[in-house]
Structure 1
Amino acid sequence: MHYGWPSPSLLELQGNSSSIEVSNDEGSWMAVMPLLGALLGALIVGVTVDILGRKNTIILTTFPFFAGWIMVAYAKSVVIFYIARFIAGVADGWAFTAVPMYIGEIADPKIRGLLGSGVSVTWIFGILLINLIGSYLSITVTALISSLLPVITFMTFIWMPESPYYLLMRNKPKEAKKSLQKLRGLQDVDNELTRLSIAVKTQTSNTGKFLDLFTVKSNRKAVLIIMILRATQQLSGTTAITFYTQPIFKEAGDEISSELATIIYFTVQLILTMLCSTIVDKTGRRPLLILSITGSGIVLFIEGTYFYIKSNVNFDVSRFSFVPVAALIGFVILFSLGMQSIPILMLGELFPANVKAFALCLADIYFSILATIVSKFFQIMKDSFGLICIVIFVPETKGKTLEEIQMHLRGEKENTVSEIEGEIDDFFTK
């Protein structure tokens, strides 16, 4: 919701009736401030997720998220808006590291894609919600309503179980078993607990260090994959479009209002991201990524061509005023089928337990820098360069356990879940 806030609110702040004068430059800094805050949050979270735990770190984010909304509600100057959104960004840096990690560690391999994609589904829902509220209510009322969400999160998430991976890392096998029993809805979880114990012991046999991300071959390969996915995702301009959706539609000058066009845009994005989350475990990650990036590149090229002709060529484009809206809707459909959710999903899949905190911290910093550059110096650009890299480098993780993914990155023969369970049964039989 903090990310979607600029879309309806900057138009109000820069309108004639606003009590606070906000220039275009100040507005752009206001928009990207959460990304700058996320840099600090990502640096902090590398410590908190391994000391406080995944669950407690997520709970901790509710406090700065809440404080950010209260400050936005009563802000009387641009500086207060900067501070409020920076604080919210710090919380975002925590959340976007801890949440994919938590989901990746608690999920059964068969539905990990569905649950991991839920991060993007709820992210888009928040953007849609803030555009719905912010388009028809004042900034103060919108912020006060939004502040209820962190409160609800705090009151509900305290009842969630901690990640069994984290509990095993802290040498708490009894608590890890209780967590697994609650997560799976089963009493007999001994086989899975044994598998997790072996995996955690193997992955944490050497205390992870930040440099391990680059000195260990499998980690280095995972870092490269994430950097490719995140770069391709952000260079499509998706974050910039999120920040400036209503101004884009207003400039396009189509017959429908910018508010309605924005709501339609994010509604379509939400529906398609939900569709992706339901099929990603059946189709796999790679096919959706390839389809998504190819289609997105084509429609963004059409979008960019329209605005270039409108601004630089002596040609009447009034007959083609539907193109910007149609192209953006086409973009959101194709982008949401893969590139919206899969990069975030794979954050929780590719790294071993001993360096996962460092890896997600690095990934969030990298994301924040990329998104800031693209959003601050906003222009819609096609992202066709990413396609070949995805075909060559990005592995398929559908239906694989986190241990099998690590074996693939190390270049070892991958065992299936059934083979691993068979080995465990043989071990106990002997």
Structure 2
Amino acid sequence: MSPYLVILNVEGYHEIPKVSSLTVSWLSSIYNIGILAGALISTYVNDILGRKLSMILFTVPGLFSQIFQYFAVNISMVFISLFLRGIVTSWAFSIVPTYISEIALPHLRGPFTVVGVLILSVGMLSGSLIQASFSIELSALIGGILVLVTLMFVCVVYETPYFLIAKNQDEKCKESLRKFCSEQNVDKEYEEIKSSWNESLSVKQTGWIKIFTDPSNLKVFLICVGVQSCQQFTALTTMITNIHVVVEHYGLDISLTQISIMAKGVETFTAFISIFIVDSWGRRPLFIFVSLGACIAHFVTGLGLFIANINGEISTTLGITAFIGNLIYLTISGLGLKYLPNVLGAELFPTDIKSKGCSLLMVISAIEGAIVALLFDFLFNIAYYLPFLIFSVCGFLGFVFGIIWVPETRSKSLSEIQRQLKCNSCKK
């Protein structure tokens, strides 16, 4: 939970008196509803208006979110702010990886995507630090300024060649390629993109149904859902947003705000490291590693709490052990578990259904996150150790899934990835 919600829960804000834990839960829920709305909006804006205009438009709800947060005088304005923030979050996680995957060179695509996710994480960490150390008003003011800076930046970027091909704007596509490749002769790159686009048109179905009727698209969807499910069913969303609820049962002398900042700090620091390993290791080995890491992290926490359950109390040593397991998991999250579903979705889905595929993953992520949150609360109330041992098993299943199903996309062009997927589908 962000310091914003902690402050509302403990102190209140402006003319808003402190709110109950139930209201905080509803505030978290409205954020998830915003994520669903943003995923659907981004799907059509990305494909109809283009990648560049989509990035321009998502700054609008982002700016209004900060405005409502700054001027909030009743709980309704807080609900609106968080709803808009949910829209921006899913919209950004849909369009930014898509844009980067379509403009970056193969060996830079992974690191650039991680940088995009890292910027979001640094922004959240900065906001948390400002909220905790200074005020909510200052964080909203700085957040609004950063949104305007983002708007100025995306106004000068170029449209992706893949979208221009899809709209039959061949000359603009070549011009875009010249800008991104920094060379005049781009015939080879143009022909490769054109050929890949024409191959995608060979499947007669259009729209959402194309994801499920074409064998290679369906395979991509199942792979991405598997990776996404490993992320959510190892309790990523719950551990990031509600870690304070977990740690307060460990008997440690740590404030809720300190827990929130520490969690975001660990995750952000490891995300910096992931910039250098996502391409040197490759997507498949990294996913296998983080899945196994999530398994071990939750097992450490679950084991500490299980021993405490046998002893009848949580000692400081066992509390620290459980907390270390949580920090290991957040480290694993920053190293790859948090962003790999977005990277693989942007790389594996073909251009004509990329926006729909990535947005559908965001919807599935939000639904799975809600299910896991309910499951976590139910199991945690039975026994503190129970959800962590179950999530440890889910991490191991993700480890097995990665070995068997997840393909490698490192240093391959998007066209090469599609040819490989179609070839594998034909063989089967």
The answer, yes or no, to whether TM exceeds 0.5 is: yes
Q: Find the partner of 2:322 among 321, 324, 337.
A: 324
Alpha-carbon deviation of 1:372?
2.6
Partner of 1:397: 409
Q: Find the partner of 1:39 among 22, 25, 36.
A: 36
Deviations 1:348-402 (A, max 9, x none): 1111122222211211111111123334554554233222122111111111111
- Comparing 317-326 with 191-200, greater Cα deviation is found at 317-326
How far apart in 2 are the matches of 1:320 and 1:92?
36
Alpha-carbon deviation of 1:166?
0.3
Is the CA contact (8 Å cut-off) linking 1:273 and 1:340 kept in structure 2?
A: no
Partner of 1:212: 210
Alpha-carbon deviation of 1:189?
1.9
Is 1:12 the counterpart of 2:7? The answer is yes
Is the CA contact (8 Å cut-off) linking 2:228 and 2:365 kept in structure 1?
A: yes
Is the CA contact (8 Å cut-off) linking 2:287 and 2:402 kept in structure 1?
A: yes
Is 1:199 the counterpart of 2:196? The answer is yes
Deviations 1:24-78 (A, max 9, x none): 1210121232221121222222221111001101110000011111112222332
Question: In 2 relative to 1, CA 32–62 (structure 1 residues): closer, same or farther, beyond 3 Å?
Answer: same
- Comparing 76-85 with 279-288, greater Cα deviation is found at 76-85
How far apart in 2 are the matches of 1:268 and 1:399?
28
How far apart in 1 are the matches of 2:238 and 2:361?
19
Is 1:162 the counterpart of 2:141? The answer is no
Letter in 2 for 1:165: Y
Is the CA contact (8 Å cut-off) linking 1:8 and 1:246 kept in structure 2?
A: no
How far apart in 2 are the matches of 1:347 and 1:119?
15
Kindly report which structure 2 residues correspond to 1:353-392, keeping only aligned pairs within 5 A, or say none. 353-375=351-373, 378-379=376-377, 381=388, 382=391, 383=394, 384-392=396-404
Alpha-carbon deviation of 1:99?
1.5
4+ runs of 1 displaced by more than 6 Å?
none
Partner of 1:237: 235
How far apart in 2 are the matches of 1:407 and 1:194?
14
Letter in 2 for 1:13: L
Q: Find the partner of 1:119 among 116, 127, 130.
A: 116
Deviations 1:223-253 (A, max 9, x none): 1011111111012222222223445445544
Partner of 2:423: 411
Alpha-carbon deviation of 1:257?
4.8
Letter in 2 for 1:64: P
Coordinate RMSD, CA, aligned: 2.3
Partner of 1:352: 350
* Structure 1, unaligned runs of 5 or more: 1-5, 415-430
Question: In 2 relative to 1, CA 17–84 (structure 1 residues): closer, same or farther, beyond 3 Å?
Answer: closer
Question: In 2 relative to 1, CA 412–225 (structure 1 residues): closer, same or farther, beyond 3 Å?
Answer: closer
Alpha-carbon deviation of 1:90?
2.1
Alpha-carbon deviation of 1:20?
2.2
Alpha-carbon deviation of 1:127?
2.4
2:363 alignment partner, SS class: helix
Query: Higher RCO, 1 or 2 (CA under 8 Å, sep at least 6)?
Result: 1
Letter in 1 for 2:407: P
Is the CA contact (8 Å cut-off) linking 2:289 and 2:399 kept in structure 1?
A: no
How far apart in 1 are the matches of 2:308 and 2:165?
60
How far apart in 1 are the matches of 2:10 and 2:187?
62
Is the CA contact (8 Å cut-off) linking 1:20 and 1:76 kept in structure 2?
A: no
Deviations 1:317-376 (A, max 9, x none): 123332233222211223333312221111111111222222112111111111233345
Partner of 2:284: 286
Deviations 1:388-422 (A, max 9, x none): 122111111111111222122223599xxxxxxxx
How far apart in 1 are the matches of 2:89 and 2:263?
23
Letter in 1 for 2:7: E
* Structure 2, unaligned runs of 5 or more: 378-386
Alpha-carbon deviation of 1:16?
4.5
How far apart in 2 are the matches of 1:252 and 1:163?
50
Partner of 2:149: 152
TM-score, normalised relative to structure 1: 0.88
Deviations 1:146-177 (A, max 9, x none): 22221111111100011110011111122112
How far apart in 2 are the matches of 1:90 and 1:413?
35
Is 1:58 the counterpart of 2:59? The answer is no
How far apart in 1 are the matches of 2:372 and 2:29?
10
Name the structure where helix makes up a greater proportion of residues: 2
How far apart in 1 are the matches of 2:75 and 2:98?
35
TM-score, normalised relative to structure 2: 0.88
Question: In 2 relative to 1, CA 396–171 (structure 1 residues): closer, same or farther, beyond 3 Å?
Answer: same
Partner of 2:312: 314
Letter in 2 for 1:243: T
Partner of 2:134: 137
1:117 alignment partner, SS class: helix
